[in-house]
Copies of this chain bind each other. A is one copy, B any other.
């Protein structure tokens, strides 16, 4: 297998983007990434998207995006793994370049969530869970994470304030990210008095509904060295794993087994431990999720994610800077785009181009993306050659 480099990154400003169709979002991010890479010819492309069928009445996104990007007849494949669609698309692009099948692969993620014709966004998001045993009986997605939060609080004594601190920290970071949907700061009180969604999770514990896209261009290390446009950022590890889709089938509601397994695979490939990364982009779809991910990655002991967050370990200047981008919470969460946007953030940080939210001297980053309540997860390790 060949080494793989991230040679271009692109992302639009996220938010409620009423004038943009799903094809406009993807093409805009893709063109930014191609321009950043300095290439206009690609061998193949991927589209990570969760639920365009339900959300905008359009499947067949690979062909659609290749067509509108002016790249037909290249192979164009849509990949779906709920909210991990972006991370899984990245992995497919990684495998394709590593295999020698293609030299330049575009990987983009996209979701258009605000402009629903029929049905509801809540229904579409619930299709990430086990519909027959969960969704159809009335459990919403915040409801599922609320159960996980309650279990974590009961077992480990995680507090309401610790959950709120995740949101406060991520908005602190997001306020420094010009592409974030909600670039403002908040307070513990602001989070804890926001509207109740699913007890104990309030509005400010939840990532928002977002329109957006992100894209990266992958290639060989040789090509990256020839282009010489940016510091050389390599993907040194890729891991993906699955777990029970329904919560009732899990041995432990407070443990994200797929994240643990994906991190193990990725770190074995990259020959490092998660703790050896300098920064982390993780899947904080709800505040409790970030706390559980810290534990599944082994950054802290089981049950210690809440206290670690409250102690500032995951803040921008802390021991393990998590979600310098603002995370899903402040940056936004167009579900299919999230996993790719994490790679955009890591590459920008490793290049030293992250401005006010720069993690100083960052050489290695870890991205963790997950689908549903953790039934699928990807972990990728990126490193910059100094």
Contact = CB atoms under 8 A, between A and B. Distances in A.
Given A131-B57, A375-B60, A243 B73 contact: yes
A257 interface: yes
Given A60-B245, A63-B375, A245-B67, A99 B88 contact: no
Contacts of A66: 242
Given A57-B123, A80-B59, A100-B99, A242 B67 contact: yes
Given A73-B261, A242-B74, A245-B67, A82 B100 contact: no
A322 interface: no
Interface residues of A, number: 66
Interface in A128-180: 128-132, 135-136
A212 to B, nearest CB: 19
A64 B129 CA distance: 9
Given A57-B131, A98-B101, A131-B58, A243 B51 contact: no
A91 B81 CA distance: 18
A53 interface: yes
A88 B99 CA distance: 17
A127 B59 contact: yes
Contacts of A242: 62-63, 66-67, 71-76
- Name A's interface SS: mixed
A371 B60 contact: yes
A371 B92 CA distance: 20
A63 B81 contact: yes
A368 interface: no
A31 B285 CA distance: 35
A201 interface: no
Contact of A77 (B63, B76, B79, B245): B79
A376 to B, nearest CB: 4
Interface string A251-262: 000000110010
Contacts of A123: 57
Interface of A: 1, 21, 44, 50-51, 53-54, 56-64, 66-67, 71-82, 88, 91-92, 95-96, 98-101, 118-119, 123-124, 127-132, 135-136, 240-246, 249, 257-258, 261, 371-372, 375-376
10 contacts: A1-B99, A60-B372, A60-B376, A61-B80, A62-B80, A73-B241, A75-B240, A77-B88, A77-B92, A79-B79
